[in-house]
A and B are shown apart, each in its own frame.
Chain A
C-alpha cells in the first residue's frame, strides 16, 4: 500500500448508490415485468471506528445496500470508495485486497456456517483463501480468535450443529475477524438470538470494536438495539435514506414522520398497557412500484400536494451537525 489515505478521508464513502434487480427472474419466454428498485440512490460516509446503523422495515433495501457495499452485488450505478479507493468497476483480482478488509456477519449463524466443517476450519478458511500465514501460524491465530470470542480450544474440533445460536454467532464473528478487516458489515446479527443471548453478542461486538479498532455497518430492524449500539443511524424507506443523524439526536428529535412513526411503533417496557394511538396506516409499498414524489406520502400524516409531486432531498435538518432528513416538512415542529 502506497501513500495512505489522509486522516480526513472516511473509511467508506458511498455516493448515489443504486442497485436494481430485474423482476420475474428472466428466462427465455418470461415477460419483462419491471425492475425492483431495491436501493435507489443512497449516499453516506462512515468514519474509522464508527458504528453506523441502517434501520428500516422489510423491503427498505437495507440488506441489499449492505451486500452491495460488501461487494457481494455489483451496483447498478453510483460509487463505493473504501479507504479512499474507488471499488466499483474493479475486476475480481483488484477487488481481493478490499474483500479482505470488508467482512460480513449474517443474521442466521446456522445457514452461514458450513455444516460439514469443524469450527477450527471454518474460522481458518478466510486465512486460507487470502493465503495468510503458514499452517502453524494459522492455527495459532484461530486459537487466539476463538479465545477472543469466548470459545474454548476443545470447541475447534466440533461442528456447527453442536453449538447454540449464540455460540454460532460467535464463530461467525471469529471467522469475520480472522483476516483483520477494517469494516465489518453485520446484517441483523442478533435478530435470530434469544433475548438473554442478544446482549452477550452485542457486548462481544463492542469489546472487539475497541480491541481491533473496527468500523461497523450495523443493519437492524430493532430500534432499541440500534439506539444502544450505534453512533449514527440512517433510516431507510423504499430504497432511500429518509433520515440520518447521530443516534441521540435521531431519537431525541426525529425530523422525518417515518422515523417518528417507527419510534412510536416500537413497543417499550414500562410504558404501561397500550392505548390505541397514532398508528401508521397502510402497508409498505412494493419496491417494484414505488409511489411517485415522496415514497412515504401514502402513509404520511403530513402529506401535502408537494409530497405527491416531488421527492424531497436529504438535507440538513434539526439543530445537530450531521442530522439530515428527506422531508418537505422536516423543519416543522414534531408532534
Chain B
C-alpha cells in the first residue's frame, strides 16, 4: 500500500504522522505482521482513541512509535514523522532523547510498571535527571510538585514510599506524573485504566482530561473498551488483525459506524435500551495472525462478505466527513 495516498491533513496540522507502519514478529510458523500498514495523525491537544480486541496490534503500534517493540518483533516498514524527522531513522541515542521527554507513555499495569526497589519519587525524578540535566534535589522537588498536581495527598511524604505501598489508583496517578514531568508533546496511554476499579477508573480518566487541558498534550489513548474510548477520544481508530479498519471523528464513528466490524463492536455492547434477552453477537473468534483469511481479514466473520471481499484486502479509503474506512461494502 502506498502510504502517500492517505494524507488527510496538512503537515502543519499534525504533531505526529504515522504512515504505513509495519511490525513483524518472527514465530515458529513464520513471520507474522502484528501491525500492517498503520497510518494516522495525532493533533496537538487532542485525543486519538485506538480500540480493538486482543491481538489486533494496538499495543504493538504504540510501542513501535517509541521503538520499544520487544523481540522477536521488529519494525519492518513505514515512517513515524515527528517534528519533521522520521523517528524510525534516528539513532538509538537520539531516540532516547525523544522518549520520556517529547513522547512519553503510561502503561496498563501500574503494579508491575514501577520498579519495586526504587521509591516513587526517585522514579519520577529520574526522567528529569535524564533529560533536563537536573540535580537530584531539584528533580526531587519537581517530582513532589508533580505528585501534588496529579492529586496525591501528602506528596512530599508519598515521594519517599515504594510502589507496593500505594493503591492501584495512586500508582496510576504517579505513573501519569512520571509521564508528564518533562512536559511532553505526546502521551501514549496503553489501557491506562483497564486494571482499575470503575470508580478509580473515573478518577484517572478525569485526571487525564485535566492534564491534557493544562499541558496541551496530544494523547493516543488505547483501550479494548469502546465505552472508555467514547468518553475520552476526539477521534477514534479501530484496528482488526493488525489493520486499521476505520478512523473517524468520535461522535460520527459511534453514531454511524461504517465498517461492519465497528458496527458489530457497538451492537454487541450490552447497554440501556437493549432489552434483556439475546445480544447481537459477532460470530467466530478473534483471528489468529498466523492464519488469516484471504482478502479482507474480517471476511470470515462478516455478514456482508462476498467473493470480492475474500479475493483482496480492501485498502483504507477516504469517506465523507473526514472519515476513513477499509471496506468494499461500507455505504457512505
Contact = CB atoms under 8 A, between A and B. Distances in A.
The answer to whether A and B belong to the same complex is: yes
Interface of A: 57-58, 164, 166-167, 194-200, 202-203, 206-207, 221, 223-225, 227-229, 247, 251, 261-262, 264-274, 276-277, 279-281, 283-284
A206 B275 CA distance: 13
B27 interface: no
Contacts of B202: 264-265, 279-280
- Sort A-B residue pairs by CB-CB distance and give the 4 closest, nearest first: A228-B270, A57-B197, A265-B202, A267-B227
Contacts of B285: 164, 166-167, 197
Contact of B272 (A202, A227, A284): A227
A108 to B, nearest CB: 14
B119 interface: no
Nearest to B277: A206
Interface stretch (B70-78, B122-130, B203-211, B318-326): B203-211
Interface string B227-260: 1101111100000000000000011001100000
B280 A199 contact: yes
B268 A195 contact: yes
Contacts of B254: 269-270
B270 A57 contact: no
A232 B203 CA distance: 28
Contact of A274 (B226, B231, B266): B231
7 contacts: A194-B224, A195-B226, A199-B268, A202-B270, A269-B266, A272-B231, A283-B169
A60 to B, nearest CB: 9
A276 B231 contact: no
Contacts of A284: 167, 197, 199-200
Nearest to B213: A276
Contacts of B255: 270
A190 to B, nearest CB: 10
A247 B277 CA distance: 14
A267 B197 CA distance: 12
A196 B276 contact: no
A272 B264 CA distance: 19
A225 B270 contact: yes
Interface string B174-209: 000000000000000000000001111111011001
B201 A265 contact: yes
Contacts of A262: 198-199
B54 interface: yes
A142 to B, nearest CB: 22
A270 B203 contact: no
Nearest to A230: B276
B279 A199 contact: yes
Given A224-B269, A229-B270, A283-B167, A197 B279 contact: no
B268 A164 contact: no
Contact of A57 (B198, B227, B228, B276): B198
B157 to A, nearest CB: 16
B281 interface: yes
Given A195-B224, A229-B276, A221 B198 contact: yes
Contacts of B201: 265, 267
Contact of B170 (A265, A280, A283): A283
Interface in B135-185: 167, 169-170
Which among B54, B270, B274, B301 has the greatest number of chain A C-beta atoms within 10 A?
B270
Contacts of A268: 227, 230-231, 271-272
Contacts of A195: 53, 224-226, 265, 268-269
B292 to A, nearest CB: 15
B29 interface: no
Contacts of A228: 270-271, 274, 276, 279
B268 A198 contact: yes
A296 to B, nearest CB: 11
A266 B269 contact: no
Given A228-B279, A283-B167, A274 B209 contact: yes
Which among B210, B231, B234 has the greatest number of chain A C-beta atoms within 10 A?
B231
B227 A224 contact: yes
A136 B234 CA distance: 60
A201 to B, nearest CB: 9
B93 interface: no
B278 interface: yes
A289 B228 CA distance: 32
Given A202-B270, A202-B279, A229-B276, A194 B197 contact: no
Contacts of A267: 201, 205, 225, 227-228, 230-231
Contacts of B280: 199
Given A228-B279, A274-B205, A276-B210, 8 more contacts: A167-B285, A194-B224, A195-B226, A264-B202, A271-B231, A273-B234, A276-B209, A284-B200
Contacts of A227: 270-272
B198 A194 contact: no
Given A199-B279, A221-B197, A265-B202, A194 B227 contact: no
Contacts of A225: 270
A160 to B, nearest CB: 15
Contacts of B15: none
Nearest to A265: B202
B277 A279 contact: no
B228 A203 contact: no
Nearest to A192: B54
Contacts of A164: 285-286
Contact of B279 (A167, A203, A251): A203
